[in-house]
Structure 1
Amino acid sequence: MGAEKEIDVLARTLWGEARGEGLAGMIAVGWTIRNRVELDLRNDGKPDWWGEGYIGVCQKPWQFSCWNKNDPNYPFLSGLKPIPAAEFAKARQAALAVLEGKQPDPTAGATHYYAKSMKTPPGWMKGARPTVTIGNHRFFKDVP
């Protein structure tokens, strides 16, 4: 896969997950993806459960809900419906900022996050270390 495809998939993921959070929120979500891409769980050199590479991490089933086929964002992410050009341009700007390291990691190494609006926090956060809250998202690392 080429770099352009990685940029596109990351930008679509940021749009689907955090378009309401502004550029800073999209960059934060982008860094959780980058942190997963760069982290080798168990330092074993084997593929990690959350996927490999930007495309693999973004599109790993049940990791980023916007890619779930039953999610209302999926028709936009899959290309069945167009993402508004100005919104996608902002998501692409955030994706490039993350990929090129133009912005430092505002999440302090987070690999997970959830929206504060969720009625029930996800089970994975038990034992995880919170790092920061940015907008409507709470970020975590060291998720068991």
Structure 2
Amino acid sequence: MLTLPLTDPTQAAARTAWGEARGEGARGMLAVLGVIGNRAARPAWWGHDIAGVCMARWQFSCWNPSDPNRAQALTVTDSDPQFKKAQQMAALLVSGALPDITNGADSYYDTRMPRPPAWAAPQFYRCTIGRHAFFRMGPFGEG
């Protein structure tokens, strides 16, 4: 079993995307990877590089101490086809070749939540992919 924090950018991104969006398929994981890339491209309180962004406290629920996805994200192997796909896409992210399908989003939430988070203001909305609504907040919501 791996231990936290993960420092390898490909592993951190793949496991985060898998932990957050494996139920959304490749497109959902691609969108989460886009958010990770957009955050890493605009260093701020959420981290300064891919692994740092993924491991920032309370930013991706799959890494929260009480989240059941945490143990699964640490132990998933290449035998899982969704994880294998997440690794391939994460490698593209690390190499700078991953397309951003989120229109620059740096934040998202699961639309199945009873109500949107307070930060999810309409002027920051970018798109909805699967069950996730994507927003570009930036350090001050610009962009």
TM-score normalized by the length of structure 1? 0.82
Deviations 1:80-108 (A, max 9, x none): xx455323202112212333344421111
Opposite residue 46 of structure 2, the aligned amino acid is: W
- Are 1:137 and 2:132 matched, yes or no? yes
Choose from 95, 100, 109 the match for 2:95: 100
Return closer, same or farther for 1:128/1:72 CA change in 2, 3 Å cut-off: farther
Moved over 6 A (4+): none
Other structure's SS at 2:36 match: helix
Q: Which segment is superposed worse, 84-93 or 9-18? A: 84-93
1:23 deviates by 0.8
Question: In structure 1, what is the Cα distance between the partners aligned to 2:124 and 2:52?
Answer: 25
- Are 1:38 and 2:41 matched, yes or no? yes
TM-score normalized by the length of structure 2? 0.83
Opposite residue 19 of structure 1, the aligned amino acid is: R
Choose from 98, 114, 117 the match for 2:112: 117
For structure 1, which runs of at least 5 residues remain unmatched after alignment? 41-47
Other structure's SS at 1:132 match: strand
RMSD value over aligned CA atoms?
1.9
Pairs within 5 Å for 1:62-101: 62-79=58-75, 82-83=76-77, 84-101=79-96
Choose from 15, 20, 33 the match for 1:17: 20
Q: Which segment is superposed worse, 10-19 or 118-127? A: 118-127
Is contact 1:110-1:139 (8 Å) kept?
yes
**Between Structure 1 and Structure 2, how many residues are aligned?**
132
Deviations 1:79-138 (A, max 9, x none): 4xx455323202112212333344421111100011111112111113651111111111
Is contact 1:128-1:142 (8 Å) kept?
no
Question: In structure 2, what is the Cα distance between the partners aligned to 1:123 and 1:134?
Answer: 20
Aligned to 2:3: none
Opposite residue 74 of structure 1, the aligned amino acid is: R
Question: In structure 1, what is the Cα distance between the partners aligned to 2:50 and 2:128?
Answer: 23
Aligned to 1:53: 49
For structure 2, which runs of at least 5 residues remain unmatched after alignment? 1-6
Report the identity percentage. 43
Q: Which segment is superposed worse, 8-17 or 99-108? A: 99-108
